[in-house]
Amino acid sequence: MSKAQTIQVELYTDGGCSGNPGPGGWGYLLRHLSSGKEKEASGSSPETTNNQMELMAVIQGLAALQRPCVVELFTDSVYVGKGMTEWMPKWKKNNWQRKEKNRWVPVKNAELWQQLDAQLARHRVKYTRVAGHSGHPENDRCDELAVAAYQHLL
């Protein structure tokens, strides 16, 4: 591991929609472990899905890091977690396709998964699942950011 990758950060993310599909938002909180400095950001889309916003939160959070880092990702999205750890290696091997009823079909949200894959190649990321809406302060904050981001679209 290069010296740059000794930078350790925590990334908390959340995404959501009003309706699924519908107006949606994403939010993240980045915490640099040695300094304690934090950065928050959020964004929205007028027509999207919960899964797309969960992915976008992680993509944007990782993209905000200016150098390769060791990242612990905290998310309540099983979709993102399983996608990163279980599904994506198979999808990549099969040209971003998956089997459905004995035939190959394109992976849903392939463009976002490919963006996430590019970000994952820059960093060393460990996925940690948190329970959503369970009083986890950083997860709750990211939920607030995501909801606030799409409120103007309602």
Per domain, the residue ranges of the chain are: 3-151
Contact 31, 9 (CB under 8 A): yes
Own/partner pairs for 98-104, CB < 8 Å, 24+ apart? none
The pLDDT-based confidence of 4 (bands split at 50, 70, 90) is very low
pTM exceeds 0.75 for this model: yes
> According to the model, what pLDDT value does residue 99 have?
92
- Distance, CA of 31 to CA of 52 (rounded, Å): 23
User: Residue 5: pLDDT above 60?
Assistant: no
Query: Please, how many CA atoms are within 13 Å of residue 62, restricted to the half-sphere of its CB?
Result: 24
Q: Determine what percent of the chain is predicted with pLDDT higher than 90.
A: 91
Give kind and range of the element (H or E) at residue 13: strand 8-17
Of residues 25, 54, 123, 138, which has the active-site annotation? Answer: 54
Domain 3-151 has CATH 3.30.420.10: yes
**In the annotation, is 143 catalytic?**
yes
DSSP 40-98: EEEEEEEEE-HHHHHHHHHHHHHHT-SS--EEEEEES-HHHHHIIIIIHHHHHHTTSEE
- The number of beta carbons lying within 10 Å of the beta carbon of residue 6 is 11
User: Residue 3: pLDDT above 70?
Assistant: no
Mean pLDDT for the chain overall: 94
Of residues 19, 47, 111, 133, which has the active-site annotation? Answer: 133
Of residues 24, 76, 81, 117, which has the active-site annotation? Answer: 76
| Segment 46-96, tens digit of pLDDT | 999 999 999 999 999 999 999 999 999 999 999 999 999 999 999 999 999
- Distance, CA of 2 to CA of 123 (rounded, Å): 11
